[in-house]
């Protein structure tokens, strides 16, 4: 994620996740009643996200063994994993020319400890990017072995 606009990029990513139905929004019903009519893709969710890596074997070990994603199949030099309702397609190419993968994870503090035990190094501490009366939207950024940006993001119920 570009360091110049991290909050903007995080907000945009969150909006995409809410729009896709991947996470529930805290939208105001009055505001949504004045929204324009739903477009043809309004109720769609992501089916697949593609990223490029320099070493497919290393990527399989990282995404399957380190992160624990469910390996689906390999076809035409591309590897596929199931991530919730969507697939992750990993192909050989130039890393860093892809989108950030945001994993919906309301228990990201627990996941941080588990991933650190797998050797994952994080870009920084867990950040709170939005606060509501009932939850904090938290973000924790890291990268795959090729430098593709990844993040855990989740609505964490507030304790106060």
65, 40, 56: which is closest to 120 by C-alpha? 65
Position with higher pLDDT, 58 vs 20: 58
* Average pLDDT of every residue of the chain: 78
Asked if pLDDT for residue 8 goes beyond 70, the answer is no
pTM > 0.95: yes or no: no
Instruction: Specify if 99 maps to a domain.
Output: yes
Contact 101, 14 (CB under 8 A): no
Asked if pLDDT for residue 28 goes beyond 80, the answer is no
Strand 127-131 versus strand 101-104 pairing type: unpaired
Position with higher pLDDT, 30 vs 155: 155
Q: How many other CB atoms are found less than 10 A from the CB of residue 45? A: 13
Instruction: Specify if 53 maps to a domain.
Output: yes
Instruction: Specify if 16 maps to a domain.
Output: no
CATH number at residue 69: 3.10.180.10
Query: Phi and psi for 53 in degrees, rounded to 5?
Result: -135, 165
Instruction: Specify if 10 maps to a domain.
Output: no
Asked if pLDDT for residue 88 goes beyond 90, the answer is yes
- Provide mean pLDDT across the span 120-129: 94
Range of the domain at 150: 46-157
Share of the chain above pLDDT 90, in %: 36
Instruction: Specify if 133 maps to a domain.
Output: yes
End-to-end, the C-alpha distance of the chain in Å comes to: 30
Contact 156, 111 (CB under 8 A): no
Domain count across the chain? 1
């Amino acid at each position: 994620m570009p360091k110049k606009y991290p909050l903007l990029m995080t907000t945009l990513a969150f909006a995409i996740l809410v729009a896709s139905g991947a996470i529930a929004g805290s939208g105001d019903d009055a505001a949504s009643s004045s929204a324009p009519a739903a477009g043809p893709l309004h109720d769609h969710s992501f089916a697949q996200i593609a990223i490029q890596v320099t070493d497919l074997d290393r990527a399989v070990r990282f995404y399957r063994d380190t992160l624990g994603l469910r390996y689906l199949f390999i076809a035409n030099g591309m590897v596929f994993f199931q991530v919730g309702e969507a697939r992750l397609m990993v192909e050989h190419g130039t890393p860093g020319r892809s989108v950030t993968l945001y994993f919906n994870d309301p228990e990201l503090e627990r996941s941080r400890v588990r991933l650190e035990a797998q050797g994952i190094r994080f870009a920084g501490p867990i950040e709170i990017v939005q606060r509501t009366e009932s939850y904090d939207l938290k973000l924790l950024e890291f990268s795959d072995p090729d430098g593709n940006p990844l993040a855990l993001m989740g609505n964490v119920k507030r304790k106060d």
